[in-house]
Amino acid sequence: MAGGGPGSRLADALAGGLALGITSGLILSRAWLTTVTQIWLTLRHRTPLRLGRFLDDCRRRHLLRTVGPIYQFRHAELQDHLRERP
């Protein structure tokens, strides 16, 4: 039996569907967009790659405080010092 029996066509359809699902999941996923954004910020603006962990660590060390979803410096002197540096 040469080529394309029903089992072969079914396997091809399943493989194509799986490939389409994985590709669309990667392209349309917010996680993918978040990862690309984090890498871009790291390369372009030299932010830490895991920015959320960094901010949480700063909050635990009492350098930052949170007001709702916003991080604020606890010490105006530190903020002024960082603002002066390029």
Q: Which of 35, 66, 30, 65 is nearest to 49 (CA)?
A: 35
> Global pTM?
0.55
* Predicted confidence (pLDDT) per residue in 13-57, tens digit: 888 888 888 887 777 777 778 888 899 999 999 899 988 899 999
pLDDT in tens, 49-69: 988 899 999 999 999 999 998
User: Taking the CA atoms of the chain, what radius of gyration do you get in angstroms?
Assistant: 24
